[in-house]
């Protein structure tokens, strides 16, 4: 038994996916921004902790990419990671599901506790980590297979072969793609538009019913309409999943995120570090640190 088995029950609270809500792609007034988020810092603070990151530093060889990061990521919230290029945003979220392990020079110090269990602890099964903590990348990367086989790929690998049709349909519905593809499931995924391909990648990630979804700039390569569809999707998915999203788009962070973490380069060491973390309203309207304020108001650099 891996340590992950003991976290099984706490991994999900079985919420339902609400109906779709239209959103705008341009900037929206404050009341609308607030209404699309889970209300209130205190409510956010009361949610169970999914990740407890303690003094995490990441090195590539002798270069430190991220230093001394401590923060808690809470269940069924959207947590945005923002900050200038090179400040370690991708390094940060890739460290949460051991995606950096494939980089030979990668080294991590500190602790990443997932439901209280050390992700980098001895005996932890990396395949199981990735099943529970799914990831979607900036560039849609469907396999050169049919739409159905893309979504069925991970369940098949894990031996989840019973009710596969239902599982594929459920994932495609959750990813708000079903209606567009239900008549062409056996055609190539490469024939889909970029926005559809990205929703397919989200369907592929959620087909094994993970606990957490990590999204590294999932909408930045998409047109505004597809980007809005991805945002809308995050709202409907957060009742089922805990979502961490890296984005360069401040309006997007303000619209979708309950919590926001601002990373930047440390003034002295020029190493990526967490500058400020809190509920999105506070980070955007009354940040404590001048670097956060400069960044969210576009005066950075």
Ligand X SMILES: Nc1ncnc2c1ncn2[C@@H]1O[C@H](COP(=O)(O)OP(=O)(O)OP(=O)(O)O)[C@@H](O)[C@H]1O
Residue 86 as a binder of ligand X (CB under 6 A): the answer is: yes
User: Smallest gap, in angstroms, from Cβ of residue 145 to ligand X?
Assistant: 28
Considering only 91, 150, 198, 280, the residue that binds ligand X (CB under 6 A) is 91
State the binding partner of 68 from Mg ion, ligand X, none, CB within 5 to 8 A by kind. Answer: none
- Enumerate residues 6+ apart whose C-beta is below 8 A from 173: none
Q: Coil, strand, or helix at residue 214?
A: strand
Number of residues that bind Mg ion (CB under 5 A): 1
Pairing of strands 49-60, 63-74: antiparallel
Helix (H) or strand (E) holding 259: strand 259-265
Q: Which of 101, 138, 131, 139 is nearest to 114 (CA)?
A: 131
DSSP annotation of 146? B
- Is 97 near Mg ion (CB under 5 A)? no
Applying CB under 6 A, does 103 fall inside the site for ligand X?
yes
Q: Is there binding between residue 210 and ligand X (CB under 6 A)?
A: no
In this complex, which beta carbon is closest to ligand X, that of residue 89 or of residue 204? Answer: 89
* Residues of this chain, 215-274, that bind ligand X according to CB under 6 A: 272
247 binds Mg ion per the rule CB under 5 A = no
**Dist CA 117 CA 205 (whole Å):** 22
Verify binding: residue 68, ligand X, rule CB under 6 A: no
Least Å from the CB of residue 169 to ligand X: 34
Rounded to a whole number of angstroms, the minimum distance from the CB of residue 31 to ligand X is 30
Taking CB under 5 A as the criterion, the residue among 57, 69, 79, 90 binding Mg ion is 90
HEC sequence for 53-96: EEEEEEEECCEEEEEEEEEEEECCCEEEEECCCCCCHHHHHHHH
Under the binding rule (CB under 5 A), the answer on residue 91 touching Mg ion is no
Q: Is 132 in the site for ligand X (CB under 6 A)?
A: no
User: In what side-by-side order are the strands of the sheet with 212-216?
Assistant: 117-118, 106-114, 49-60, 63-74, 272-279, 259-265, 78-82, 242-246, 212-216, 133-136
Count other Cβ atoms within 10 Å, centred on residue 80: 28
Select the span of 40-48, 79-87, 195-203, 232-240 touching ligand X (CB under 6 A): 79-87
- Compute the least distance from the CB of residue 82 to ligand X, in Å: 9
Least distance to Mg ion, CB of residue 238, Å: 22
How would you classify residue 122: left for phi > 0, otherwise alpha for psi between -120 and 50, otherwise beta?
A: beta
**Shortest Cβ distance from residue 110 to ligand X (Å)?**
16
> Closest distance between ligand X and the C-beta of residue 267, in Å?
16
Q: Strand 106-114 vs strand 49-60: parallel, antiparallel, or unpaired? A: antiparallel
Please identify, among the stretches 83-91, 114-122, 129-137, 222-230, the one whose residues bind ligand X according to the rule CB under 6 A: 83-91
174 is a site residue for Mg ion (CB under 5 A):
no
Instruction: Identify the CA nearest to 278 among candidates 42, 28, 29.
Output: 42
Kindly list the residues in this chain that would bind ligand X in the complex (CB under 6 A): 60, 65, 85-91, 103, 272
Kindly list the residues in this chain that would bind Mg ion in the complex (CB under 5 A): 90
């Amino acid at each position: 038994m891996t340590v992950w088995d003991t976290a099984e029950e706490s991994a999900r609270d079985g919420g339902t996916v609400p109906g779709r809500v239209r959103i705008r792609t341009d900037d929206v007034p404050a009341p609308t921004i607030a209404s699309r988020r889970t209300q209130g810092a205190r409510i956010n603070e009361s949610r169970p902790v999914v990740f407890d990151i303690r003094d995490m530093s990441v090195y590539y060889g002798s270069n430190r990419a991220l230093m001394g990061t401590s923060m808690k990521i809470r269940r069924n919230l959207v947590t945005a990671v923002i900050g200038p290029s090179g400040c370690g945003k991708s390094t940060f979220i890739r460290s949460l599901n051991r995606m950096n392990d494939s980089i030979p020079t990668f080294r991590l110090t500190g602790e990443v506790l997932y439901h209280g269990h050390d992700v980098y602890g001895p005996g932890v099964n990396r395949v199981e980590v990735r099943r529970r903590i799914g990831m979607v990348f900036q560039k849609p990367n469907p396999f050169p297979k049919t739409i159905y086989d893309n979504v069925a790929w991970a369940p098949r690998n894990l031996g989840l072969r019973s009710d596969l049709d239902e599982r594929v349909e459920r994932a495609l519905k959750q990813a708000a793609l079903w209606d567009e593809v239900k008549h062409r499931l056996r055609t190539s995924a490469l024939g889909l538009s970029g926005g559809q391909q990205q929703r397919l990648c989200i369907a592929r990630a959620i087909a094994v019913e993970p606990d957490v979804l990590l999204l590294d700039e999932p909408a930045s390569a998409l047109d505004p309409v597809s980007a809005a569809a991805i945002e809308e999707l995050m709202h409907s998915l957060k009742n089922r999943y805990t979502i961490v999203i890296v984005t360069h788009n401040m309006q997007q962070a303000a619209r979708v995120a309950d919590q926001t973490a601002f990373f930047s380069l440390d003034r002295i060491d020029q190493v990526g570090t967490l500058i400020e973390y809190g509920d999105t309203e506070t980070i955007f309207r009354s940040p404590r640190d001048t670097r956060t304020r400069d960044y969210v108001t576009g005066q950075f650099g």
